[in-house]
Structure 1
Amino acid sequence: MTLQPGREAVVQVAVATLWRGPEAVRTVDAPALASRTDIAGWIAAMNTDQQVGDCVLSQLLLGERVLVQEIRPDGWVRALALEQPAAKLDPRGYPGWLPADQLTPATPEPDTGTRLVVDTTATALHEHPDGPPVLPGVMLGTRLVTAGPVRDGWRPVHTPGRERPLWAVDAHLTREPDHPPTAVEALSVASRLRDVRYVWGGVSTYGIDCSGLVHLAWRRLGVRLPRDADDQAAATTPLELGEERPGDLYFFARPGRKIHHIGIVTARSGAGGPRRMLHACYNLRRVVEEQLPAERTATLVGVHRV
């Protein structure tokens, strides 16, 4: 099977990056373009200015679905990320470009296995138990389906584009939630990414942006939120300021401008107490938990609940 416009495909690398266009790619981006991506190495090689360049739109995790729209002879695919809602751009999903060899045609998901999700910040999938890693850097929130019973602490899982299962450390996986998750659970997931570097468009535990942090935390719990902060505001329920609880969402905008930043509430602020949040901070270039600085307080435009 080959990729075809109008058909669905799935990501077959640990993390695929969605680009503004093929012409936006820089020399430093080579590790993110390979058929075996090295996202940790890519981010480590960039300087702070390169980490916030607007050439990156988002990132997709192993097994994530896209709708192929165009295939270029030079190996680039224009696609819609179907699991990252983007109402203002395309109601079907987030649009962008990625290398064709990071995708494989979609096939029916096995219906005989248990659905699991990666519950460690990053893990690797191996050729066989204790064998060499085939897919390093598989991210928190990646969904997998079992391919057999656990063997000595290792579990076989189906992976896109491969006939034979790969093996994961069973302790790094957990069952998908069977109950509606709470905001506190989402905050707990996001808190595990404290000190992760700020990377524009990032949705990985090696580098992430403000809306990516919120998207990934809820994704780990089985809830699909939009990718961008303004779309996340439209998809959640507004509250009165002062009613927020840990796990709710603060939104920020400058006068007359659209929402540009989001953070996760970490403390009750009743009776005039200080507001605190966990967020991927552009200024500090990392994920931090802090009391809202004066600039944030001045641009706080709302609090919402998922």
Structure 2
Amino acid sequence: MELQPGREALVRVAVATLWSSPEAIRPIDGPALTTGADIPTWVSGMDTEQQVGDCVLSQLLLGERVLVTELRPDGWAHVIAVEQPAAKLDPRGYPGWLPADQLAGVDPARTGDPLVVDATITALRADPDGPVVLPGVIVGTRLVPAGPARDGWRPVHIPGQPAPLWLPDGQLVPIPIGPPEAADVLAVAQRLLHVAYIWGGLSAYGIDCSGLVHLAWRRFGVLLPRDADDQAVATNPLPLGAERPGDLYFFARPGRKIHHIGIVTAVAGGRGSRRMLHACYRRRRVVEEPMPADRAATLVGVHRV
């Protein structure tokens, strides 16, 4: 299906990066711009300063819906990521740019209740146990089944692919009905321990603090906003001390908006201290640790989804 402004499209690569503008692209960003979007090579090629370049806004997963708002002759598309709420930027979703060849038109014939990928990282194959066609598919990706499982493999429809691709059936699960248990969400987030911090990242190759929260809840069909300050608005505040593992800590400097978020892993009690899992800008990776004193000084709230 042809891309057209004003119509929805679907991400056709495992992980597409949403950019602030085509002109903001750096030489290091080349691997993320290819038709296959080689995110592992992109992330591994960055130094610590390049990991926090503000040209990256967010990332989108395979099959994610976007609204196309502009197509440029040089191959770039401006889109609204409608599955990543960002009320302060656009009531329709998160706006940004990506290469148009990382999108495919919506095929109305490919319908059905999606399943969600539960493997942290997996690959889609041409046939059961056949050659890899699309590597690097991330936990939380939603895929439409193309038929029943066969010999432990499940066929799925992929945007831009004429024939179904296959992955192990055990790596796909139904999207839960009703709110998930906080402990289950925390367990998904803990799988991303030690993943590189990438500003705007939303994958098991690189992620930021609000991306970690968004992705962990997305695995269970809950679409939280993309940015930490919006996530605070969308969740329920609790009295400090009432938190439990799986709740969210929010941080802000005096007079400033919320700039950081962490997931509660243990609460203060006895000689213990509050602990959290978070994608740490300073350490450039996802860590689980006692809340540092400088973080505690900027702790402004604890919320529950």
Shorter-chain TM band: over 0.9
Instruction: Tell me the distance in 2 between the aligned counterparts of 1:85 and 1:163.
Output: 30
CA deviation after TM superposition for structure 1 residue 128, in Å: 1.0
Aligned residue identity for 2:185: A
User: Match of 2:157?
Assistant: 158
- Asked if structure 2 preserves the Cα contact closer than 8 Å seen for 1:197 and 1:206, the reply is yes
Instruction: Tell me the distance in 1 between the aligned counterparts of 2:77 and 2:88.
Output: 21
User: Match of 2:184?
Assistant: 185
Instruction: Tell me the distance in 2 between the aligned counterparts of 1:96 and 1:27.
Output: 19
Aligned residue identity for 1:54: D
User: Match of 2:6?
Assistant: 6
Q: TM-score, normalised by structure 2?
A: 0.97
Instruction: Tell me the distance in 2 between the aligned counterparts of 1:275 and 1:298.
Output: 13
Aligned residue identity for 1:30: G
User: Match of 1:80?
Assistant: 80
User: Match of 1:295?
Assistant: 294
User: Match of 1:52?
Assistant: 52
The answer to whether residue 32 in structure 2 is matched with residue 32 in structure 1 is yes
Instruction: Tell me the distance in 2 between the aligned counterparts of 1:278 and 1:27.
Output: 32
User: Match of 2:128?
Assistant: 129
Instruction: Tell me the distance in 2 between the aligned counterparts of 1:272 and 1:264.
Output: 20
- Asked if structure 2 preserves the Cα contact closer than 8 Å seen for 1:24 and 1:55, the reply is yes
User: Match of 1:211?
Assistant: 210
Instruction: Tell me the distance in 2 between the aligned counterparts of 1:156 and 1:176.
Output: 17
Q: 1:204-256, CA deviations, whole angstroms, 9 ceiling, x for partnerless residues? A: 00000000000000000100000000000000001110000100000000111
User: Match of 1:198?
Assistant: 197
User: Match of 2:220?
Assistant: 221
Q: TM-score, normalised by structure 1?
A: 0.97
User: Match of 1:107?
Assistant: 107
SS at match of 1:203: coil
User: Match of 2:116?
Assistant: 117
SS at match of 1:40: helix
Instruction: Tell me the distance in 2 between the aligned counterparts of 1:33 and 1:287.
Output: 25
Q: What stretches of structure 1 of length at least 5 have no aligned partner?
A: none
Aligned residues: 305
User: Match of 1:173?
Assistant: 172
Q: Which moved more, 1:37-46 or 1:170-179?
A: 170-179
Aligned residue identity for 2:171: H
Aligned residue identity for 2:249: Y
User: Match of 1:241?
Assistant: 240
Instruction: Tell me the distance in 1 between the aligned counterparts of 2:106 and 2:226.
Output: 22
User: Match of 1:286?
Assistant: 285
Instruction: Tell me the distance in 2 between the aligned counterparts of 1:74 and 1:288.
Output: 40
Q: Are residues 109 and 94 of structure 1, via their aligned partners in 2, closer, same or farther at CA, if it must alter by over 3 Å? A: farther
Aligned residue identity for 1:68: V
- Asked if structure 2 preserves the Cα contact closer than 8 Å seen for 1:246 and 1:265, the reply is yes
CA deviation after TM superposition for structure 1 residue 270, in Å: 4.9
Instruction: Tell me the distance in 1 between the aligned counterparts of 2:108 and 2:297.
Output: 49
CA deviation after TM superposition for structure 1 residue 28, in Å: 1.3
Q: Are residues 299 and 128 of structure 1, via their aligned partners in 2, closer, same or farther at CA, if it must alter by over 3 Å? A: same
Instruction: Tell me the distance in 1 between the aligned counterparts of 2:256 and 2:175.
Output: 38
- Asked if structure 2 preserves the Cα contact closer than 8 Å seen for 1:11 and 1:102, the reply is yes
CA deviation after TM superposition for structure 1 residue 151, in Å: 2.1
SS at match of 2:266: coil
- Asked if structure 2 preserves the Cα contact closer than 8 Å seen for 1:177 and 1:222, the reply is yes
CA deviation after TM superposition for structure 1 residue 291, in Å: 0.5
Q: What stretches of structure 2 of length at least 5 have no aligned partner?
A: none
CA deviation after TM superposition for structure 1 residue 108, in Å: 2.9
- Asked if structure 2 preserves the Cα contact closer than 8 Å seen for 1:242 and 1:270, the reply is no
The answer to whether residue 63 in structure 2 is matched with residue 63 in structure 1 is yes
CA deviation after TM superposition for structure 1 residue 183, in Å: 1.5
User: Match of 1:265?
Assistant: 264
CA deviation after TM superposition for structure 1 residue 61, in Å: 0.1
- Asked if structure 2 preserves the Cα contact closer than 8 Å seen for 1:243 and 1:270, the reply is no
Instruction: Tell me the distance in 2 between the aligned counterparts of 1:110 and 1:75.
Output: 26
| % identity of equivalent residues | 71
CA deviation after TM superposition for structure 1 residue 105, in Å: 1.3
CA deviation after TM superposition for structure 1 residue 31, in Å: 1.1
SS at match of 2:160: coil
